[in-house]
Amino acid sequence: MFPTQPRNNFAKTKVNAPLNFSGKMATWKVLKAALPRQMGIMAVYHSKSMNWNSESFVDRIPKRWPKKRAKYGGKTLVKTGRLKSSIRILKLTQNKVEVGTTVGYGIKHQEGREGFPVRQFTGHSSVLSKATGRMIVSKLNRAMQV
């Protein structure tokens, strides 16, 4: 009644398949070099598109920008579009990326200086952190399949 040998369900799987470590390491080096720039591009997009379109700093709890005074009309933080279009990657190293603007009045809006209300348009955002985390995991998963 009992089979002579126990049935092994694992015999059909390729446990001892050779791994391509040199290919994975080369892929990892390329990926590691590209990640800061890609994260910076995502941060610029987050600031320019998500924040400006919603007229708030998009975070777990969005921080709405105070509205413009009635005499100016239009969208908040948009008169000429100079501030929004100036947001870019300012500093890029292999471990760090800084995104911001060199427009002088940007800091007045960002931090609420000289009588301006605080209208944060760059900075740490949990929404952006989750998005960059998902991008990194996706790229690592693809790299491990090489």
Q: What is the pLDDT of residues 37-69, one digit of tens each?
A: 999 999 999 999 999 989 999 998 889 988 876
* Model pTM score: 0.75
| 106 band by pLDDT with thresholds 50, 70 and 90 | very high
- Percent of the chain whose predicted confidence (pLDDT) is above 70: 82
Could you report the per-residue pLDDT of 7-33, keeping only the tens digit for each? 555 555 555 556 566 777 777 788 888
Q: What pLDDT shows up at residue 112?
A: 92
pLDDT exceeds cutoff 70 at 70: no
Q: State the Cα angle at 52 between 106 and 96, rounded to 5°.
A: 60
Structure tokens at 36: 């800061």
Mean pLDDT score of the chain: 83
What lies within 8 Å, CB to CB, of 39 at 6+ separation is 97, 132, 135
Q: How far is CA 21 from the centre of its chain?
A: 28
Beta bridge partners of 98: 91
